[in-house]
Amino acid sequence: MKLLASDGLIARPARIWTREKLRYLQKYAQAFMTAMAPKRSQGLWERLEYIDLLCGPGLSVVRDTKEEFDGSPLIALKIKPAFDHLHFVDLNRENMAALESRVSTKDAARVSFGVGDCNVLVDQVFNRISNRSLCLAFIDPEGFEVDFKTLAKLAKKRVDLLYLFASGIGIRRNLKNELSVANSRLDKWWGDKGWRDLPAAKWASGKFTEEPPEKVLQSFVSAFRRKVGSAGFQFQDEEVLPFSNTKNAQMYHLLYFSHDKTGLTIWNNIKKIAPGGQRSLL
């Protein structure tokens, strides 16, 4: 059954961690634009652009409470100073139709919409982006929809990347199911078959490991971070942000990658302030 927002258009179902991850996106996007916008007039950057490869319909709704809040595209559109251009991609045509309806007429000229597989459309996105642009990309998959080759393409551009990594309770099921598939979708996600040799895959298959599940999952996150970093991102977050469900089971990690140490410094400062505003000990 489709979930509808109060405007009658489709919405994305929200969970306990949804608002938290989006607050971190909002805080970083705001800091990114505040720091970089003055550099446009100085000639360092021609344009500052935002890329959202799994953008969704623009609004999130909590099923139980019917609470509504902006999804990543609308958050990015409201950042001031404003992005010069925003690139929204989604596989679902109905999601994109809803998002287009929610984008105001005053913002429409600085938005490009693309319906289809982000692993294909990413090339079209980059064809529209100047070599003198600096970009912020947000990738928010449910699982393993984004191929490693797509991340590698992002790594070759001047892009700061926030990536939600599905590191939690679905890992064991997904890894176990995919291990027996000769040409697994996880092979494309990882970029090769190397994920099959990781401790997480052995743990998922039921093989004995001396490490507790939490450490096995953490090693999986670390291996993925190293692989993405090796594609060309020089700087990355060492203390990644975990998100858990109402039963305190780990669900996702929010990963950060950049070509610039300044971006990493900004991100590390943002992480110290929890979504609710209190300062953490990270």
Give the pLDDT of residue 73.
98
Question: What is the residue range of 37's domain?
Answer: 12-168+225-271
pLDDT score, position 209: 66
Geometric angle at alpha carbon 118, from 115 and 120, rounded to 5°: 95
Number of domains in the chain: 1
How far does CA 80 lie from the centroid of its chain?
21
Alpha helices by DSSP H, the chain: 18-41, 72-77, 93-102, 118-127, 148-155, 171-179, 185-190, 199-204, 213-230, 261-271
Best CA proximity match to 55, nearest among 123, 5, 108, 113: 113
For 108-135, the pLDDT digits (tens) are 999 999 999 999 999 999 999 999 999 9
| 261 occurs within a structural domain | yes
What pLDDT, on the 0 to 100 scale, is given for residue 169? 64
In this structure, is residue 62 part of a structural domain?
A: yes
pTM: 0.94
Q: Is residue 189 a part of any domain in this protein?
A: no
Residue 193 lies in a domain: no
Predicted local distance difference test score (pLDDT) of residue 23 = 96
Q: Write the Ramachandran bin of 89: left for phi over 0, alpha for psi from -120 to 50, otherwise beta.
A: beta
The residues of the chain scoring below 70 in pLDDT are 169-170, 208-209, 274-282
Nearest to 134 by CA among 161, 106, 103, 112: 161
DSSP letter at 73 equals H
pLDDT for 279 equals: 46
CATH number for the domain including 81?
3.40.50.150
Q: Is residue 160 part of a domain?
A: yes
155 inside domain: yes
pLDDT at 217: 82
Is 202 within the bounds of a domain? Answer: no
- Return d(Cα 151, Cα 236) in angstroms, integer: 14
Strands 235-236 and 68-70: unpaired
Structure tokens at 149: 């080759």
**Alpha-carbon separation of residue 170 from 174, 213, 248, 277 (angstroms):** 6, 13, 14, 30
Whole-angstrom distance, CA of residue 277 vs CA of residue 95 = 31
Is there a domain that residue 99 lies in? yes
